[in-house]
Amino acid sequence: MIGASSKARLYLKYLRNLAEKTDLGRVAGPSLIRLVDEAMNIRGSRSLLNRKMSAEIWDTLEQMLERGSSAFLQPHKFGCFLVMDPNNPISVNSALRYWGCAIQAGAQVSGAFGIAPPHLDEESVERAKQNFFPLPFAFIPQVQVGFRLNWNESCSTQLVKMRRIFFLCQQAIAAIYRQ
């Protein structure tokens, strides 16, 4: 999803070359662009591409996709966090893979969260931190589905942990702004 707009830009560039450099593209291109434009405006709003030449339409489409892909590159507008079960190797490996995919797509991962098991030992904490270094890492409390929580008790016992998580998030955001 993160890399979709940049991939779409590559395809748009390829289609534009095809439309501008082949006879079929020069003849059918403008009609196809108008057809796509009309299909995208299903709400009946005024088209952004109305009454423009083909080159202007291609430029407008490219600018729209560029704005979309640049939103993922701005950490203050878009943040990625990894969430996994640190006791499940498949979950950890998937999170590491998603981290790599996000980097390849040009997004920046801000931190990692592990779902805390009922009995958390220091060894699991250190192993998880090593796996996701240099990302800030914190555990989040496990909440059972369908179980009524005593929020007063839960909040008071988890408040210290949550403050740590928010502190790590703030550190990650501050580190991103310093770059």
* pLDDT at residue 91 is higher than 70: yes
**Which pLDDT score is estimated for 177?**
65
Which run of H or E residues covers position 109? strand 109-115
What is the per-residue DSSP string for 123-175? HHHHHHHHHTTTS-EEEE----TT----HHHHHHHHHHHHHHHHHHHHHHHHH
pLDDT in tens, 131-178: 888 888 888 877 666 666 665 665 566 566 666 776 776 777 776 666
Mean pLDDT on 67-71: 71
Most confident of 6-15, 68-77, 97-106: 97-106
CA distance 59 to 63: 6
Q: Which of 37-51, 72-86, 122-136, 161-175 has the lowest mean pLDDT?
A: 37-51
Mean pLDDT on 48-57: 67
Bridge pairing between strands 80-84 and 137-140: unpaired
Mean pLDDT on 15-39: 78
One-letter identity of residue 39: A
84 by DSSP, 3-state: which? strand
**Which pLDDT score is estimated for 94?**
92
Mean pLDDT on 45-50: 61
**Which pLDDT score is estimated for 97?**
92
Q: Which residues contact 64 (CB under 8 A, 6 or more apart)?
A: 48
> Do residues 82 and 99 touch, judged by C-beta distance below 8 A?
yes
Q: Which residues contact 139 (CB under 8 A, 6 or more apart)?
A: 86, 113, 114, 115, 116, 120, 125, 128, 161, 165
The whole-model pTM stands at 0.49
How much of the chain exceeds pLDDT 70, in percent?
Answer: 62
DSSP-derived letter for residue 83 is: E
Question: pLDDT-derived band of residue 50, with 50, 70 and 90 as boundaries?
Answer: low
Pick 92 or 38 by higher pLDDT: 92
Q: How many CB atoms lie within 10 A of CB 8?
A: 16
- Write down the mean pLDDT value for the chain: 74
Most confident of 44-53, 57-66, 82-91: 82-91
CA distance 4 to 123: 39
**Which pLDDT score is estimated for 147?**
61
